[in-house]
Amino acid sequence: MATRDLLIEVGTEELPPKSLSSLSIAFESLIVAALATANLSHGSTQRFATPRRLAVLVEQVAENQSSKELFKVGPAVSAAYDTGGKATPAALGFAKSCGVDLGKLTTTTKNGIEKLAYQTTERGGKASGLIPEIIASALRKLPTPKRMRWGSSREEFIRPLHWILLLFGQEQLKLKVLGISSKNQTRGHRFHSNMEILVTEPSQYEKALSEIGLVIPDFGKRKEIIRAQIVEQGKLADGVTIVDEGLLEEVTSLVEYPTALTGEFDPAFLEVPSDALILAMKTHQKCFHITDKNGQLISKFVTVSNIRSKDPSQVIKGNERVIRPRMADAKFFFETDKQTSLEARLKKLKNLIFQNQLGSVYDKVVRVAKISTSIARKLSASEAHCERAALLSKSDLLTDMVREFSDLQGIMGSHYAKHDGEPEEVSKAIQEQYRPRFSGDELPVSEVGSILAISDKLDTIVSLFGINQPPTGSKDPFALRRSAIGILKIIVEKKLELDLVEAIRDAISAHNVAKLSPNTEEQAFQFLLDRFRSWYQDEGVSNNVFESVYILKPQSPLDFYLRIEAVNAFSKLPEATSLVLANKRVSNLLKRQQHDEIKTPCDKSLLGHESEINLFSEVENKRLEVVPLIKKSNYTEALLCLSSLKPLVDNFFDNVLVIDEDPNLRENRLSLLSELRKLFLMTADISFLDPGSE
């Protein structure tokens, strides 16, 4: 089949930089999906994105749709003709729906009944006639939270549209969108090559733009060029450029022809905490900071210009002139903030609302202080340091620096705590309280920081559930899901022996502002356990393994984790099959008899058959072996120890009638199985590992 390359480019005013990459991906996906729907085969695709354009190149698009074999089955022949052989309305209607005369219909047999049928080959349409609507539809469906109108038109788009380039091979296809008609021309760089550039075929597009238009249209290539340039600038400055991937993505979205340049600022500004200076450079000027070989910030930065200036020094001076007042602001904020201690700001938190029903931020830190103290007591940590860190944890929200740079909350609090002479444990904890902020982020390092982070997140979860405002669907304004995962990660990875239910009760009892729902404890605990499910889904642990532990609802996250790890490892061993089968056999019988709990202990004197006596003795022996292993959380060894019970269980079922007519014997044998089942459940309900039934 004959094919041609397809190229579509839309030129606009500057597109939103933080959305450019996602817009480009969506544009490509929409076009590819529409081609598939239209039954147009094609080869590989390449997308392009700059601040002023979105483009997609699709190679080897079929010139015609593939032909389709159509086969329709209609009414039964007996219902299609009357006794006189005349066609009924059913037959005529079927022929009409097929678009043919009655004589073109055939018959087929379906389910033993002869029916009318119609078979034909539907030839595909020309791609050149389908592509314009495919492109127009893709442009309409581009996802963006805000659209614009301009001129007198009521139509909307992401940004005002200036040109459309649409080529199918060398053929210029006609398309009109938002009053703009397609051409075979693109436009070059706004300053270096602000003119129309002829593109005669799609494969020439990238080369024409880069050589004539001085535009690097490929987002990925442009990004790597910028990376190489800024790294080189750092080396020339005898330092190391720190490449922030998010900033690199944003800068790539702001330039079409990048040129990296190095500027300087007054070294006196280095007296300000480096976090504040870095954020000022990054947020306001989109600049990359440079450190020395020891990782210390130096008074130089790298900026990426969108032009190749004949006098780069003027561009550098311009950036230095703009960045200077930002640095000065940061220095002023820092010096001013230090004049008031964090403790002096504490009472003023009463004027800052956390949530209408839950009171002020002051109320929250008082609650967190109580929770932290309680957890510290359980973990034998410093109660005084935990309480102090909690009380001062939010005071930096009232500082000028954090008002200007909200990302510095906690970080600046730590600096101000050091200045105020607070213990090092307190200042570290204040900095670590928000960790982890996102998936893959660092966890708190210090013990006090870990306790503060858990307490702060737990208070938010318990408080919101307590006033019946849990997350719903995709709405989670207080990031409770992220907080829950954070709590679990800290407890597990820091190996903290913490009972979650007890901690939740502490969080509930810390409340004196809002009256919490009576279901708060149960709902908060269930919510936290459910976060384990998504955790293990991400790690590829099977749902059967998860359910085997989840059914027991361990109150310690660390214990939950250790059990999952043990069951997951054990499930891959040869011994797993025998233990699962034995467990399943016992579990099924007890369920059928509704014998979930041991009503009376098994009486050895009532055991008569050798098989049940042997099983009883071995259960007693295994209990002595397994209990010490469970106490040490050696769950894998416990499961391996129990796996040898399979032959005894099989002998018991083969030789002993459990459901005996004698109620005393029946109850005693069920009690024996219940004790065996209880032994299994000391680690997990591994019957979940066998999805089938006995």
Residue 82 has pLDDT above 90, yes or no: no
**CB-based contact 257:221 (threshold 8 Å):** no
Phi then psi dihedrals of residue 125, to 5 deg: -80, 170
**343-540 against 563-689: fold identical:** no
Q: Which residue has the tokens 């679990």?
A: 488
Q: Which residue has the tokens 């800290």?
A: 490
Segment of 38-42, 418-422, 580-584, 650-654 carrying the highest mean pLDDT: 418-422
Position 691 scores a pLDDT of 42
**CB-based contact 233:249 (threshold 8 Å):** no
CA gap 260, 215 in Å, rounded: 15
Residue 592 has pLDDT above 80, yes or no: no
Range 403-430 average pLDDT: 96
Range 562-572 average pLDDT: 90
**CB-based contact 202:234 (threshold 8 Å):** no
Mean pLDDT of the chain: 92
How many Å separate Cα 594 from the centre of its chain? 42
DSSP 559-624: HHHHHHHHHHHHTTSTHHHHHHHHHHHHHHHHHHTT--S-SS---GGG--SHHHHHHHHHHHHHHH
CATH of 563-689, one of 3.40.605.10, 2.160.20.10, 1.10.730.10, 2.60.120.10: 1.10.730.10
Position 669 scores a pLDDT of 85
pLDDT digits (tens, 9 = 90+) for 250-303: 999 999 999 999 999 999 999 999 999 999 999 889 999 999 999 999 999 999
Annotation: CATH topology of 343-540: Hypothetical protein af1432 (1.10.3210)
For the chain, domain boundaries: 3-65+126-211, 69-122, 221-337, 343-540, 563-689
Q: Which residue has the tokens 């006098």?
A: 311
The hierarchical CATH code for the domain 3-65+126-211 is 3.30.70.260
Position 598 scores a pLDDT of 58
Residue 555 has pLDDT above 90, yes or no: yes
Residue 467 has pLDDT above 50, yes or no: yes
Residue 694 has pLDDT above 50, yes or no: no
Helix residue ranges, H only, 186-258: 205-211, 219-236, 245-252
Residue 687 has pLDDT above 90, yes or no: no
Residue 575 has pLDDT above 70, yes or no: yes
